[in-house]
């Protein structure tokens, strides 16, 4: 039997199938959060690197480090503003 069978076809109780549904949902949420975090880091890394690192080398200069820090901070701030606007609904 697969994990998507209905409770009556799997022979299990509704409590046990509900538990497996909860576990499955938690796993999906975790995977989505990991995918979002990876995409976020790649996007910020690429954009901030392009903007701040003009002459790549073996280490960051003080100005490059400051630029990257500010860039990441602004990106996080902008993402938060957009998220709040999207999820706050119409006013």
pTM: 0.59
Task: Say what the pLDDT of residue 89 is.
Answer: 67
Average pLDDT for 41-45: 89
Task: Say what the pLDDT of residue 36 is.
Answer: 86
Q: How does pLDDT run across 60-84, given as a tens digit for each residue?
A: 999 999 999 999 999 999 988 988 8
Q: What percent of the chain has pLDDT over 70?
A: 76
Any idea which residue has 């880091």 for tokens? 41
Helices within 1-91 (DSSP H only): 7-10, 14-52, 62-88
More confident residue, 88 or 91: 88
User: Alpha carbon of 32 to those of 20, 90, 91: distances in Å?
Assistant: 18, 26, 29
User: Which domains, and CATH codes, for the chain?
Assistant: 10-88 (1.10.287.810)
Q: Is the pLDDT of residue 4 over 70?
A: no
């Amino acid at each position: 039997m697969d994990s998507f069978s209905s409770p009556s076809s799997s022979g299990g109780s509704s409590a046990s199938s509900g538990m497996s549904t909860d576990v499955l949902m938690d796993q999906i949420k975790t995977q989505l959060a990991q995918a979002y975090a990876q995409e976020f880091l790649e996007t910020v890394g690429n954009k901030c690197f392009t903007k701040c690192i003009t002459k790549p080398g073996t280490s960051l200069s003080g100005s490059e480090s400051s630029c990257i820090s500010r860039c990441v901070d602004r990106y996080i701030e902008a993402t938060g503003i957009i998220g709040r606007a999207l999820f706050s609904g119409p006013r």
